[in-house]
Amino acid sequence: MESENTFKKLKEKGRTATIQRLAVLECLRESHGHPTADELYQSLRQQYPTLSRATVYNCLQVLKEAGLIQELTIEKDKARFDPDPEPHHHFFCRRCKTIFDFQVNCPVAGSGCVEGHQIEEVQAYFYGICESCLKEEKRAVA
């Protein structure tokens, strides 16, 4: 069912579901924490030794265009990828660089207009120190 959707979405963009594209998508869906293209390349390389870094980058662009994944710019110099293409909030820990999906009610979401602008979608980046880093900090102080 899910792979049918993948095929359909790629086809809508005039793309075929190549083995590489499916492998990149699967690898992204299995990895937690919004990996970078390079992290995906490193883990795919073990299974597909002939896969090049350029191919992984290219596959990610095609999957993004097909609306199967999304690219996050939460870290300025590093693109991260998310297997969930629907808009959702993210929290970035400045200390351990982990990205979490963040469930928080946004006050303006679904409220229509703010300052005359019609809101259609809200997706925010939050920055700070994550729970486990905070705990570690407390332990270090104590």
Q: Do the Cβ atoms of 21 and 9 come closer than 8 Å?
A: no
CB of 73 to Zn ion, least distance (A): 13
Euclidean distance between CA atoms 72 and 52, whole angstroms: 22
Euclidean distance between CA atoms 31 and 111, whole angstroms: 34
Asked if residue 104 binds Zn ion (CB under 5 A), the reply is no
Main-chain phi, psi angles of 120, to 5 degrees: -110, -25
Judged by CB under 5 A, the stretch of 15-23, 36-44, 61-69, 81-89 that binds Zn ion is 81-89
CB of 75 to Zn ion, least distance (A): 13
Judged by CB under 5 A, the stretch of 10-18, 25-33, 47-55, 96-104 that binds Zn ion is 96-104
Report the largest interatomic distance among the alpha carbons of the chain, rounded to a whole angstrom.
Answer: 59
Per-residue binder mask for Zn ion (CB under 5 A), 50-79, x = binder: ------------------------------
